[in-house]
């Protein structure tokens, strides 16, 4: 049994998108102070081949639309409103101190080339699960009125090369105000993702930041045993280990009692990773091996491309033989052509 | 006329035509626009330094390989200072200021009258700070 719980409190997980009419000529991204996505808090758990993400968007006031894009390891099977206290309870565990109205829509193809796999409305959030390359996702965002920051093309490529699945969340501040949402109110979203390949996106946290800006985040992991991580949280790599211990019965019971959290097992290992890195240095994700093998994936960490790993790890003898045969036939053909003379004579 | 002579005459005619075309090209070269290709990738210009002669039209072919909007605005420091606080949403009126839509190409032809050093910049929010600048040196021709 494998399980993995991840939470990013007080941080923004996702590509920040400024919405509304485009401002050229040095205008600010988004109206200054008019609307803010205060923070995005994310929890992801892994159990029996299924990853569970709970992401909360907090309303900071203002009007208009705002949003984020979160890279996912695979296509989710459901996106629903998350539980009410899961995120807060996890934070409290290491720092002593969420109505299903979602509507799933059928898949449809977007004009940009990005495939819309799922559309869900949760409170004031319009959530779309997308499949596509970096260009597809970027075009989709542009077509939907969002402006991506200048580092988005490279960051989207970084993720799309490993998983072409993204979750776009557009926050309608006007709708939030109409619903009576107060400043600081959060909307938790629970994403269920069947996958053999869980990882925590960290590089996305630096999106839109200048190189010297600091990225700070807390990552909570819940696994059967102490997980193997890449990069190692030594503190020198921009991430450090803040907590590593068996999860208490109280924590597991509290988490299990929240909405949609019945999958929480009876035992587990709780790890807290603190991210504190200059944006320019945060060029990796957190690869986790919760299987006990102790070999976190270099591809998942973003240190290696999937294609490079595939080439290094496989040898297709059949294709090599076929290529050799074609090469020999080609050389023989050239030889015949050089010996052919007009009139049918052969030298 | 034998076939061999016909082939020889045809070859001579072809060679003459090609030679005339080459001479015409040389004569007219100074009036033809110089073509400079610029590629935008990951919100950076490539090349980031270009040298062109003054007084001769230069056609810039700008390829935006990114899925986001970009701008190519060339000029002196004063012009760029104005654009940093500008509000023009799309540039199309001046050949030295063009917007390039995502994943598209844009062509503009400019004749720089005076030698000097200019810069080209994308003034969309955050793009200049991200490094989306280049230097254009205009020589004496």
Count CB-CB contacts under 10 A for residue B118.
21
Return the closest-CA partner of residue A136 out of B114, B68, B19.
Answer: B68
Q: Average of pLDDT values for A219-244?
A: 87
Residues B88, B38: one domain?
A: yes
| Range list of H helices, B42-111 | 77-84
Closest partner CB to B87 (pick from A23, A136, A139): A23
Top-confidence residue, A246 or A344: A246
So where are chain A's domains?
Answer: 5-302, 315-347
Report whether pLDDT(A320) > 70. no
Residues B47, B113: one domain?
A: yes
Beta strands across the sheet bearing B44-46? B44-46, B34-41, B57-64, B105-111
Taking an 8 Å cut-off on Cβ atoms, the answer to whether A24 and B123 are in contact is yes
Residues of A in contact with B125 (CB under 8 A): 18, 23, 26-29, 147, 149
Closest chain A residue by Cα to residue B80: A25
pLDDT band at A52; cut points 50, 70, 90: confident
> Tell me, what's the pLDDT at A333?
52
Distance CA A128, CA A167 (A): 6
Contact status of A194 with chain B (Cβ, < 8 Å): no
Report whether pLDDT(B43) > 90. yes
Q: Are A284 and A301 in contact (CB under 8 A)?
A: yes
pLDDT band at A328; cut points 50, 70, 90: low
Report whether pLDDT(A51) > 90. no
Q: Are B68 and A112 in contact (CB under 8 A)?
A: no
Report whether pLDDT(A255) > 60. yes
Per cent of chain A over pLDDT 90 is 16
Residues B22, B45: one domain?
A: no
Q: Which residue has the tokens 């001046």?
A: B94
Q: Average of pLDDT values for A44-67?
A: 65
Taking an 8 Å cut-off on Cβ atoms, the answer to whether B125 and A28 are in contact is yes
Contact status of B89 with chain A (Cβ, < 8 Å): yes
Closest chain A residue by Cα to residue B103: A135
Residues B26, B40: one domain?
A: no
Top-confidence residue, B103 or B9: B103
Q: Which residue has the tokens 């205060």?
A: A38
Contact status of A138 with chain B (Cβ, < 8 Å): yes
Distance CA A82, CA A100 (A): 8
Top-confidence residue, B32 or A33: B32
Least confident of A9-13, A181-185, A327-331, B120-124: A9-13
Ranked by mean pLDDT, the top range of A61-70, A226-235, A261-270, B38-47 is B38-47
Residues B99, B113: one domain?
A: yes
> Tell me, what's the pLDDT at A236?
85
Taking an 8 Å cut-off on Cβ atoms, the answer to whether B69 and A156 are in contact is no
Q: At what angle do helices A86-94 and A249-256 cross, to 10 degrees?
A: 170
Return the closest-CA partner of residue A80 out of A110, A109, A53.
Answer: A53
Q: Average of pLDDT values for A264-285?
A: 89
Residues B101, B84: one domain?
A: yes
Closest chain B residue by Cα to residue A27: B125
> Tell me, what's the pLDDT at B5?
54
Q: How many domains does chain B have?
A: 2
| Mutation target vs A (from B67, B72, B80, B97; most A CBs, 10 A cutoff) | B67
Distance CA A176, CA A173 (A): 5
Residue A310 has phi, psi (to 5 degrees) of -65, -40
Return the closest-CA partner of residue A235 out of A200, A198, A268, A281.
Answer: A281
> Tell me, what's the pLDDT at A105?
33
Contact status of B84 with chain A (Cβ, < 8 Å): yes
Least confident of A123-137, A306-320, B94-108: A306-320
- Which two three-digit tokens encode residue B86? 């500008």
- Give me the domain span that covers residue B120: 33-139
- Which two three-digit tokens encode residue B25? 């090209």
Q: Is the ipTM of this complex over 0.95?
A: no
- Which two three-digit tokens encode residue A211? 């190189």
Q: Average of pLDDT values for A194-204?
A: 80
Beta-bridge partners for A240 = A234, A274
pLDDT band at A57; cut points 50, 70, 90: low
Return the closest-CA partner of residue A49 out of A245, A287, A263.
Answer: A263
Residues B64, B101: one domain?
A: yes
Closest partner CB to B84 (pick from A23, A26, A153): A26
> Tell me, what's the pLDDT at A39?
42
Distance CA A55, CA A69 (A): 12
Contact status of A137 with chain B (Cβ, < 8 Å): yes
Top-confidence residue, A87 or A248: A248
Question: What's the start-to-end Cα distance of chain A, in Å?
Answer: 73
Residues B27, B38: one domain?
A: no
Residues B13, B65: one domain?
A: no
Contact status of A285 with chain B (Cβ, < 8 Å): no
The DSSP code sequence of B59-73 is EEEEEE-SSS-EEEE
Return the closest-CA partner of residue A40 out of A125, A162, A132.
Answer: A125
Distance CA A42, CA A8 (A): 5
Beta-bridge partners for A68 = A16, A169
Top-confidence residue, A101 or B102: B102
Top-confidence residue, A34 or A42: A42
Report whether pLDDT(A321) > 90. no
Taking an 8 Å cut-off on Cβ atoms, the answer to whether A135 and B83 are in contact is no
Taking an 8 Å cut-off on Cβ atoms, the answer to whether A151 and B87 are in contact is no
Query: Which distant-in-sequence residues (6+ apart) come within 8 Å of A255 by Cβ?
Result: A5, A86, A89, A90, A261, A264
Residues B56, B77: one domain?
A: yes
Per cent of chain B over pLDDT 70 is 77
CATH number for the domain including B135?
A: 2.60.40.420
Distance CA A328, CA A340 (A): 19
> Strands (DSSP E) along chain A, which ranges?
5-11, 15-19, 35-47, 50-62, 65-72, 78-81, 108-109, 115-122, 125-131, 146-147, 165-172, 186-194, 199-200, 214-223, 228-230, 239-246, 269-278, 286-289
Q: Give the global pTM.
A: 0.71
| Mutation target vs B (from A15, A20, A24, A206; most B CBs, 10 A cutoff) | A24
Contact status of B91 with chain A (Cβ, < 8 Å): yes
Contact status of B100 with chain A (Cβ, < 8 Å): no
Residues B84, B18: one domain?
A: no
> Tell me, what's the pLDDT at B17?
43
Contact status of B85 with chain A (Cβ, < 8 Å): yes
Report whether pLDDT(B9) > 80. no
Residues B130, B64: one domain?
A: yes
Q: Average of pLDDT values for A118-139?
A: 89
């Amino acid at each position: 049994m494998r399980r993995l719980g991840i939470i990013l409190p007080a941080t923004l997980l996702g590509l920040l998108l400024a919405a509304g009419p485009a401002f050229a000529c040095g205008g600010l991204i988004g109206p200054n102070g008019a609307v803010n996505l205060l923070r995005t808090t994310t929890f992801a758990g892994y159990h029996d081949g299924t990853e569970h993400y709970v992401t909360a968007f907090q309303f900071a006031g203002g009007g208009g639309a705002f949003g984020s894009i979160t890279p996912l390891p695979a296509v989710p099977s459901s996106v629903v409103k998350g539980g009410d206290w899961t995120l807060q309870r996890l934070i409290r565990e290491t720092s002593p101190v969420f109505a299903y109205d979602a509507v799933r829509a059928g898949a449809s193809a977007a004009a940009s080339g990005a495939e819309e796999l799922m559309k869900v409305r949760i409170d004031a959030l319009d959530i779309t699960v997308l499949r596509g390359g970096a260009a597809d996702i970027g075009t989709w965002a542009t077509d939907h009125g969002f402006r991506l920051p200048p580092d988005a093309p490279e960051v989207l490529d970084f993720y799309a090369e490993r998983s072409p699945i993204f979750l776009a969340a557009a926050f309608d501040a006007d709708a939030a105000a109409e619903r009576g949402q107060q400043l600081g109110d959060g909307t938790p979203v629970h994403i269920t993702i069947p996958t053999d390949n869980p990882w925590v996106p960290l590089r996305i946290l630096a999106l839109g930041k200048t190189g010297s800006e600091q990225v700070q985040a807390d990552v909570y992991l819940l696994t059967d045993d102490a997980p193997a991580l890449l990069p190692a949280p030594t503190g020198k790599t921009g991430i450090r280990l803040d907590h590593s211990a068996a999860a208490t019965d109280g924590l597991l019971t509290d988490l299990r009692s929240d909405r949609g959290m019945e999958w929480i097992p009876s035992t587990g290992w709780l790890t807290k990773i603190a991210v504190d890195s200059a944006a320019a240095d945060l060029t990796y994700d957190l690869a986790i091996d919760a299987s006990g093998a102790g070999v976190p994936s270099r591809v998942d960490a973003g240190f290696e491309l999937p294609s490079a790993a595939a080439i290094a790890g496989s040898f297709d003898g059949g294709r090599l033989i076929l290529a050799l045969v074609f090469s020999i036939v080609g050389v023989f053909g050239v030889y015949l052509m050089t010996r052919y003379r007009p009139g049918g004579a052969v030298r | 006329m034998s076939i061999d002579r016909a082939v020889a005459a045809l070859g001579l005619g072809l060679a003459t035509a090609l030679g005339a075309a080459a001479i015409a090209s040389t004569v007219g070269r100074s009036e033809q626009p110089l073509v400079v290709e610029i590629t935008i990738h990951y919100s950076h210009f490539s090349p980031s330094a270009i040298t062109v002669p003054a007084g001769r039209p230069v056609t810039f072919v700008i390829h935006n390989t990114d899925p986001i909007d970009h701008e190519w605005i060339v000029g002196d420091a004063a012009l760029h200072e104005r654009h940093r606080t500008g509000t023009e949403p799309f540039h199309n009126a001046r050949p030295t200021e063009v917007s390039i839509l995502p994943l598209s190409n844009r062509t503009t032809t400019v004749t720089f009258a005076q030698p000097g050093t200019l810069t080209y910049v994308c003034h969309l929010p955050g793009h200049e700070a991200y490094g989306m600048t280049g230097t254009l040196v205009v020589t004496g021709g």
